Amino acid sequence: MTNKVVNINELKNNISWRKYVKVGIFFIVLFALLLFLFTNVYIVKEGEFKVVRQFGEIVRIDKSPGLKVKVPFVQSITTLPKYQMGYDVSEAEINTKDKKRMIIDNYAIWRIDDPIKMITNARSMESAESRMEEFIYSVVRTELGQLDYDEIINEKSSRGSINDRITQRVNELLEKDNYGISVTDVRIKRTDLPPENEESVYKRMISERGSKAQEYLSKGDAEKNTIMAETDRKVIELIAKTEAKAEIIRAEGEGEAAQIYNASFSKDTEFYSLYRTLESYTKTVNDQTVIVLPSDSPYAKLLSGNTK
């Protein structure tokens, strides 16, 4: 009886042990499967290239988004951007056509067109950017060396066409060497003079502005004198016309008054004679006048009140 109990307990222990073993094997297989998925399944996102290498050699480029699988332990994955990127080109000193030194600061917008060519010839993005910067500096120095300083700093003149020519020429050089990249745009964002030249340029600018200001003042004075002379001439003409018109009006008034006087005085000639005589007295006789008249003269009789 005792032996049977022992065998039953051993049987139960064996069953429990086998159960644990199966569960352990299940989790190990599950872990291995998950590990396989995590290490060999990858996602290609929008806006990126996935470069698949096998023993260091490129076997394919995944460009379309989605879930992809690689061969475990044999293939490796690297990522390259598909979108446009900005690159700040280092400042460079150039000489213009009119022998002036200036510092140019550019930036470039670029992208990877062919990852295989880029990796084969440039090896890395840093190396590709370095080669692109060398081409940009070479083209900028050549293009701007054919222009005068004023043409470069004047944005309204040919700045746009300069940028377009630089972009086109850099792309030609990149395509010639099969770097698999291209620049969308190269722009001049800043132009400066070397520090040792700034002071002399500032003084020349101040002198030019002073000369220009004096020129404006001289033109203003000349225009002021012209306006004043024209105004004086018009005033004199207006006064002369007004005085002439006034003389005409005055003459017409005096003529009309004379007509009225003649019409009035012709009605009584004796009264008119007396009026004119009295009027002459008012102009010729004052408090200092001495008049000697015969006592029998009509005027003396009139003054003395003797009318007989």
- In this structure, are 98 and 186 located in the same domain? yes
Provide the pLDDT for residue 128.
Answer: 94
Per-residue pLDDT at 1 = 46
Domain boundaries, position 285 = 268-304
Q: Which residues pair with 188 in a beta bridge?
A: 106
Residue 44 lies in a domain: yes
Q: What is the pLDDT of the chain when averaged over all its residues?
A: 82
Single residue among 81, 104, 126 that ends a domain in this structure: 81
38, 75: one domain: yes
263 found inside a domain: no
Percentage of residues in the chain with pLDDT exceeding 90? Answer: 29
Taking only the tens place, the pLDDT of each residue in 178-220 is: 999 999 999 888 887 776 666 666 777 788 888 888 888 888 8
Same structural domain for residues 16 and 113? Answer: no
In a domain, 98, yes or no: yes
Kindly report the three-state secondary structure assignment for every residue of 110-121. Answer: EEECCHHHHHHH
The pairing of strands 92-95 and 181-192 is: unpaired
Rounded to whole angstroms, the Cα distance separating 34 from 32 reads: 5
pLDDT tens for each residue of 33-59? 666 666 778 889 999 999 999 988 889
Residues 77 and 121 in one domain: no
Residue 107 near residue 187, CB atoms below 8 Å: yes
Residue 159 has a pLDDT of: 59
> Domain check: are 96 and 152 in the same one?
yes
Among the ranges given (157-161, 233-237, 251-255), the one the predictor scored with the smallest mean pLDDT? 157-161
The answer to whether residue 169 scores a pLDDT higher than 90 is yes
Claim to verify: residue 98 and residue 183 sit in the same structural domain = yes
Domain assignment present for residue 160? The answer is: yes
Domain boundary among 43, 65, 81: 81
Domain annotation covers residue 254: no
| Residues 92, 67 share a domain | no
- Tell me, yes or no, whether 65 and 126 share the same domain: no
Tally the domains of the chain: 3
Q: What CATH number does the domain containing 136 carry?
A: 3.30.479.30
Residue 279 has pLDDT above 80, yes or no: no
- Is residue 149 domain-shared with residue 60, that is, in the same domain? no
Domain boundary among 65, 81, 97: 81
Alpha helix stretches (DSSP H) within 145-194: 149-153, 159-176
- What's the pLDDT at 163? 87
Q: Residue 272 — very low, low, confident or very high, per pLDDT cuts 50/70/90?
A: confident
212 belongs to a structural domain? no
Cα of 233 vs its chain's centroid, Å? 46
Report the percent of the chain where pLDDT is more than 70. Answer: 78
